[in-house]
Amino acid sequence: MASLDRVKVLVLGDSGVGKSSLVHLLCQNQVLGNPSWTVGCSVDVRVHDYKEGTPEEKTYYIELWDVGGSVGSASSVKSTRAVFYNSVNGIILVHDLTNKKSSQNLYRWSLEALNRDLVPTGVLVTNGDYDREQFADNQIPLLVIGTKLDQIHENKRHEVLTRTAFLAEDFNAEEINLVIEKRYFLRDGNQIPGFPDRKRFGGGTLKSLHYD
Amino acid sequence: MSFLIDSSIMITSQILFFGFGWLFFMRQLFKDYEVRQYVVQVIFSVTFAFSCTMFELIIFEILGVLNSSSRYFHWKMNLCVILLILVFMVPFYIGYFIVSNIRLLHKQRLLFSCLLWLTFMYFFWKLGDPFPILSPKHGILSIEQLISRVGVIGVTLMALLSGFGAVNCPYTYMSYFLRNVTDTDILALERRLLQTMDMIISKKKRMAMTRRTMFQKGEVHNKPSGFWGMIKSVTTSAPGSENLTLIQQEVDALEELSRQLFLETADLYATKERIEYSKTFKGKYFNFLGYFFSIYCVWKIFMATINIVFDRVGKTDPVTRGIEITVNYLGIQFDVKFWSQHISFILVGIIIVTSIRGLLITLTKFFYAISSSKSSNVIVLLLAQIMGMYFVSSVLLIRMSMPLEYRTIITEVLGELQFNFYHRWFDVIFLYRPAFRFILMQHLSESPARQSPPCTFSGPDRLCRLAPAGGARNRDSGIGAQRRPLPAKIEDAEAPRRLLERLVRTPETISSKPDEETDDSRA
C-alpha cells in the first residue's frame, strides 16, 4: 500500500470559498454536510488510477492538503502555513464566483505558495504585487476552480465567466507541456456541485483530474 | 442669516464624516468581501457621520463657535436622527438580513423582519425597568426615554471594553511578560506537526485503499440510515467497515492534535516577532509607555473600587480640579477662564479622538475574527449599532470631564437623565473584568497539572509515547504561568477554547492605544 507513489497537491483559497467541501467531495464521493472553519491544514487522500485503461496505468495516492486561513493573516500564521508548502506537486486555487475579492486574492495565494519553494530561506520577498514573470519558470501545475456557480443569477453568469477566463489565463505559462492549467466551472447537475445541497447533488459523479 | 451659515457648516462637516465612514468601510472592514447591498454601507456611514457630529458639537460648545441657538437646534436634530437610526432602522435591517439568510423564510422576509423588530423593541423597552433611570413623568416616545435605554447599553459596552483593555494592555505592551522563544523550539514543533500530518495521511491511505477494495469486491459501505438501518448495523457489520470506523476515530484524534500543534506554532512565531519588535526603538518606546499605562490602568481600577465602596461620584471634573490645585496650592496665578476653556478642549478632544480610533480598530478586529461571507452584512450592521450606542453613551460620560459651564447644553438637550447613575454603572461593569480575571488567576494557580488525552487507540502510534501535559499553560493566568519555560508536552484537547480565547483577546483597550493597527491577527 505504501508502495504506491504519492502526489501532493495544495488546495488554496480564501476562507469560505469551499475548499474543504471540494476536498471532501473528491475524496469521499460525498457532499460535506456541515462545513466548518478549517484550522491549520486538513489532509485527505484519493486513490487515483492514472491513465486508466492504457498499458501505462499506474495507481497513485493524491494527497489534497487543504490549508485554511486568509491571505491577509498575521505573518506568524503565514510562517506557520509555510511549513506545508514543501515539495508540492500541484496547486489547486479555489475562488468564489460570487465574491470578486476571493479571485483577486488568488494571486497572493499563489505567490505565497510558490515563493516558499523558490526561496529556500522561507522568507517571503515579495510585497504582494502580481508579476507575470514570477510564473514564467514555474514548474508546478496550477488549476483554478470557481465555486458556487449555482448561486449566481442567470443573467450575470456571462460576465462572471469572462472575468474568470482572464484570471485563469494570467496564471498560464507559455509551454503547455510543463505547466498545464485548466479551468473547471462547477455546473449544477452532472459535475462537481457548488456548495453542498444534499437534496440536489446527492451522488454527483466525479471528473478525474489529470496532471500530466 | 447666521443660522443658515451655521447649518451649512454643520452639513459640510457631516458630509465629510459620511465620506470618511464610507472610505473606512470600503478599505478596512470590507477588504475581503464584495459589497452587494449598498444599503449596509450607507447605514454604516450615516451612523458614523451623525455620531461624529455629536462630538463636533461638543467641541464647538467648548470653543464657543457658532450661534448658541443654532447649536441647540442642531443638537436636538442630531439626537433625534441618531435615535431614529439606532432604534428603528438598524435593528430592522439586522432582522431583515438575518431572515434573508435563512432559506425557509425567504418568501415572507418583510413580515418576519417586522416581527423580529417588534421583539427587539419589546426587550429594549423592558431594559429600562430595573434601572432607576428617570422620572416617570415623561411620555412614552420622548427622547429621554430612548436615550436612557441606549445609554445603559452603551455604557455597559464601554465599561466592558475598557475593562478588557485595562487588564490586557500591560500584558500586551510590556516585554516583561514575553517568554523566551528560540528557533529550535519552533523547528521542533514544526517537525512534530509534519509528523502528525504524515500519520494522518498514512491512516487515510489505509482507509482509502480499504474502501476501494471493498468497492471492488462489491460490498458497499453504507452508513446506517434510518431506524431500521441502525438496528441492522448493530447485529451485522462488515469487517471492513468496522476497521474503517476504528481508523476514523484515530484520524479524528490526530487531526485535533494537528490543529493544536498548528496553533501553538503560530503562537511561537508571534511571540518571536514580538521579541524582535521589542528590541527595536519603537518597541522599547512602547514598552516604556506600557509601564505608564499599566500604572494608569491600576489607578483606574483602584478609583472605580473606591467610587463603589464609598458610594461617591465625582462632582468636579479633572480640569477644574487641576486648575484649583495649581491656583491654591502652587500659587500660580493665571487667567482661569481662558485656560480652562483651552485645556478642557484639548482634554475632551483627546478623549474623543482616541475613543473613536480605538473603537474603529476594535470593530475591525472583531469583524475580521467573526465574519464570513454569509454573515458579513449582519455583522457590519451589528457593529454600526454598537458604534452608535457607544458614541451616544460617551457623550453622556464625557459630561463629567467638562467644566460646569459647558455641561449645560448636554443637560439641556438630554433632559433630566440621572447622569450619576451612568457613572456608577460604568464603574461596576468596568470592575467586572479585572475581578473576573483575578478570580480566574486564583483558580488556575490552584488547579493540578492537567493530563493529555489518554492513549485510547492501539497500534504502533507514536502518540502514545508522548508524556502527559505538564501544567496549565494558560493564557489567562497572569505572570506565573507565562514565565514557565515552554512545555514540550501537549495539553488536552482544547483547541476550540483556544480559538475562542483568541477571539476574546482581540478587543484591545479603547483609550489611547498607540499601535495595533497593522496586523489583523486572525489565526
Distances (CA, A) of B268 to A67, A123, A196, B21: 19, 17, 36, 36
Cell of A179: 505547466
**Which of A32, A39, A153 is the mutation pick for testing B, counting most B CBs within 10 A?**
A39
Q: Do B273 and A75 touch (CB under 8 A)?
A: yes
Residue A51 has phi, psi (to 5 degrees) of 55, 55
Residue B10: C-alpha distances to residues B77, B134, B344, B390, B463 (Å)? 12, 31, 22, 22, 67
Q: Residues 332-391, chain B: which have Cβ within 8 Å of A? A: 372-374
pLDDT at B382: 84
Beta bridge partners of residue A182, listed in sequence order: A143
Over the stretch B438-487, which tens digit does the pLDDT of each residue have? 777 677 665 443 333 333 333 333 333 333 333 333 333 333 333 333 33
Give the whole-number percent of chain A exceeding pLDDT 70: 50
In angstroms, the first-to-last Cα distance of chain B is 57
Task: Assign B209 a pLDDT band (cuts: 50, 70, 90).
Answer: confident
Q: Which chain B residues contact residue A10 at CB under 8 A? A: none
Q: Which residue has the higher pLDDT, B369 or A94?
A: A94
Query: Helix or strand or coil: residue B499?
Result: helix
Contact A47 B261 (CB under 8 A): no
B520: region left, alpha or beta (phi > 0 left; psi from -120 to 50 alpha): beta
Instruction: Note the pLDDT tens digit of each residue in B44-79.
Output: 888 888 888 888 888 887 777 777 788 888 888 888
- A39 → closest Cβ in B190, B499, B519: B499
Q: How far is CA B278 from CA A77, B173, B177, in A?
A: 19, 9, 12
Q: How far apart are CA B480 and CA B477, in angstroms?
A: 7
DSSP 8-class letter at B463? G
Percent of chain B with pLDDT over 90: 1
* Å between A177 CA and nearest CA of chain B: 30
Sign of CA dihedral B183, B187, B188, B193: positive
Residues 6+ apart with CB under 8 A from B187: none
Side-chain half-sphere CA neighbours of B410 within 13 A: 29
CB distance B371 to B101 below 8 Å: no
| CA-based torsion, A173, A174, A178, A180: positive or negative | positive
B202: nearest Cα among A27, A45, A59, A66: A45
Which of A53-57, B187-191, B503-507 shows the lowest mean pLDDT across its residues? B503-507
Q: Which of A80, A148, A198 should be substituted to probe chain B, the one whose Cβ sees the most B Cβ atoms within 10 Å? A: A80
Of residues A54 and B262, the one with the higher pLDDT is: B262
- Secondary structure element (H or E) that encloses residue A144, with its range: strand A142-147
In sequence order, the 6+-apart residues with CB closer than 8 A to the CB of B138 are B144, B145, B415
For B212, the closest chain A residue by CA position comes to: A47
Nearest to B201 among A39, A40, A43 (CB): A43
pLDDT of the residue at B491: 38
3-state secondary structure labels for all residues of B261-317: HHHHHHHHHHHHHHHHHHHCHHHHHHHHHHHHHHHHHHHHHHHHHHHHHCCCCCCCC
Determine the angle formed by the axes of helices B404-414 and B143-173, rounding to 10 degrees: 130
- pLDDT of A171-210, one tens digit each? 652 222 211 222 333 332 223 333 222 222 222 222 223 3
- Least Cα separation, residue A142 to chain B (angstroms): 22
Give me the amino acid identity at A116.
R
The answer to whether the CB atoms of B522 and A79 lie below 8 A apart is no
Which range has highest mean pLDDT (B87-91, B253-257, B271-275, B339-343)?
Answer: B253-257
What are the φ and ψ backbone dihedral angles of A95, each rounded to 5 degrees?
-135, 165
B258/A40 touch (CB, cutoff 8 Å), yes or no: yes
Chain A residues whose CB is inside 8 A of the B259 CB are 39-40
Q: What is the DSSP string of B55-68?
A: HHHHHHHHHT-S-H
User: Chain A contacts of B178, Cβ < 8 Å?
Assistant: none
- What would the grid cell of residue B138 be? 415623561
For residue B523, give the H/E element and its range: none
ipTM: 0.72
Q: Do B33 and A99 touch (CB under 8 A)?
A: yes
- Strand A58-67 to strand A41-50: parallel, antiparallel, or no bridges (unpaired)? antiparallel
CA distance to partner chain A, nearest, from residue B521 (Å): 5
Nearest to B269 among A43, A47, A76 (CB): A76
Nearest residue, CB atoms, A1 vs list B209, B259, B262: B209
| Dist. CA B325–CA B320, nearest whole Å | 9
For an interface test with A, which of B28, B241, B265 has the most A Cβ atoms less than 10 Å from its Cβ?
Answer: B265
Closest to B430 in 3D by CA, of B472, B397, B460, B462: B397
> Which range (A68-72, A145-149, B389-393, B449-453) has the least confidence?
B449-453
pTM as predicted: 0.62
| Cβ contacts of B205 on chain A, cutoff 8 Å | 1-2, 4, 45, 47, 61
Nearest chain B alpha carbon to A69: B523
Q: What 8-state DSSP symbol labels residue B219? A: -
Per-residue confidence band for A135, with pLDDT thresholds at 50, 70 and 90: low
Q: Which residue do the cell numbers 491577509 mark?
A: A72
Over the stretch B155-196, which tens digit does the pLDDT of each residue have?
A: 887 777 777 666 666 666 666 666 777 888 888 888 998 898
Find out whether A42 and A23 touch, Cβ atoms under 8 Å: yes
φ, ψ of residue A144 to 5 degrees: the values are -110, 125
Cα gap A188→B133, rounded to integer Å: 58
B209, B215, B251, B499, best to mutate vs chain A, most A CBs in 10 Å: B209
CB contact (8 A) between residue B204 and residue A44 = yes
Is a pLDDT exceeding 70 seen at residue B137?
A: no
Domain annotation for chain A: domains and CATH numbers? 6-185 (3.40.50.300)
Place of cell 475581578: B435
Q: Are the Cβ atoms of B523 and A77 closer than 8 angstroms?
A: yes
| Residues forming a β-bridge with A5 | A60
By C-alpha distance, the chain A residue nearest B187 is A83
The span from the CA of B203 to the CA of B247, in Å, is 7
Give yes or no for B277 touching A (CB within 8 A): no
The set of residues, in sequence order, having a beta carbon less than 8 Å from that of A204 and lying 6+ positions away, is A25, A31, A190, A191, A192, A193
